[in-house]
Amino acid sequence: MTDTSTLTRNQRLVLDALEGAEGPLGAYRILEELRPNGLRAPLQVYRALDRLVELGLVHRIECLNAFVACSAGHDHGGETIAFAICEECGRVTEFVDPEFEHRLGAWCSRHAFRRGKTTLEIRGLCESCAA
Ligand SMILES: [Zn+2]
Ligand SMILES: [Zn+2]
């Protein structure tokens, strides 16, 4: 679990906004929500997000250009984080799959590929939207 006691006020506000959100939020949505708390400039939000992503408390979902709070509160280390993204309702489910991790690791060592941070974004329909 990442230590959150060193977060600045802005970082904590941004994290709270993401933790309370139903789904992923873009930086401008976060700014809108935090205006009453005194945040005015997009840069304040971006700076806080950068740090939160670095700490592993928040993940960036590239295909949506949006951010989510880490749902597990775990320290991911080098493992691959997967997101199942529902294109209908926007629900995002985060998971880690040891078997996938294992196979990916095997491929990388076979090809002497030194992989960096890996995020898997799976788009489709969630259970209730597919029904
Ligand atoms: Zn996570
Ligand atoms: Zn859905």
* CB-CB neighbours of 15 under 10 Å: 22
Spacing, Cα 130 to ligand 1 middle (Å): 25
CA distance 23 to 122: 15
pLDDT digits (tens, 9 = 90+) for 14-46: 999 999 998 999 999 999 999 999 999 999 999
Answer yes or no: pTM beyond 0.75.
Answer: yes
- What is the mean pLDDT of the segment spanning 72-76? 67
Spacing, Cα 87 to ligand 1 middle (Å): 20
Nearest ligand atom owner, CA of 96: 1
Nearest ligand atom owner, CA of 1: 1
Spacing, Cα 82 to ligand 1 middle (Å): 9
The CATH code that applies to domain 81-130 is 3.30.1490.190
Top-level class of domain 9-69: mainly alpha
**Does residue 53 surpass a pLDDT of 60?**
yes
- Each domain of the chain, given as residue ranges in start order, spans 9-69, 81-130
Question: How many residues in the chain?
Answer: 131
